[in-house]
Amino acid sequence: MSIMVFTKKSKGFTLIEMLIAISISIVVATILLVVSTNGLKYVREIQQKQRLQVEADYLINKLAYWIRQSKGLPLPGGPFTEFTITLPDNNVKTFRQSGDQIFLDTEALTGNNIQSAEFYIKDRAVKINIQFKDNFSITTTLAQRNQYGI
């Protein structure tokens, strides 16, 4: 069954109703804008932190891979922004911070996300302090596994 609706009094909105409606709409739109802008900012921050964590993980794995099989580290000291390790066949690998990246020889291990990198040689280990951009930092130490240095 179809229904038809007829209005008895159809005078439209009064001025005061319009003003109230516009005021409410403005308040609601402002709240929505603030909430969604903040939300977007948080989402970007979270994404960036995830990206940096993946990058830091990759960097630590690369450093660990080479440091563990090295036969020689530089003399104790630091902080250095670069250091070179010697491998059993006397080949060398150099890790260095250049600009806002960290390189292994010529290969970039990170994106343009590094604020500062400090390497300390302590006994048979390398202590690493890396400050990424966006308030994210990592600190750890990686030791050799080549006991006899051969």
Partner 1 sequence: MKLILKNSAGFAIIETMISLAIIAVMIVSFQTLMNQAIKVSRANQIKFQGDLYLRETIEIAKVFEQSGKWDILSCTSKCYFDTNGSSWDIKDGEQPLDGIYTRSFSIESVNTYTKKFTAVISWNDKPEPLTLETYVYNGIY
Q: Which residues bind partner 1 (CB under 8 A)?
A: 1-14, 17, 21, 24, 28, 31-32, 35-36, 38-39, 42-43, 45-46, 49-50, 53, 56-57, 60, 76-77, 121-125, 127, 136-147
CA separation (Å) from 53 to 86, 94, 98, 116, 136?
28, 23, 20, 16, 9
> Least distance (Å) from partner 1 to the CB of residue 98?
23
User: What is the nearest approach in angstroms of partner 1 to the Cβ of residue 81?
Assistant: 18
Residue 54 one-letter amino acid? V
The tokens 């066949």 sit on which residue?
A: 89
CB nearer to partner 1: pick between 45 and 105: 45
Q: Beta partners for 139? A: 129
Shorter beta-carbon distance to partner 1: residue 10 or 112:
10
State in angstroms the smallest separation of the CB of 50 from partner 1.
7
Burial of 145 (0-12, 13-18, 19+ CB in 10 A): exposed
| Biggest alpha carbon–alpha carbon distance for the chain | 100
- Minimum CB separation of residue 26 from partner 1 in Å reads 13
Closest CA to 131 of 105, 83, 97: 97
Of 3 and 91, CB closest to partner 1: 3
**Cβ distance to partner 1 smaller for residue 50 or 98:** 50
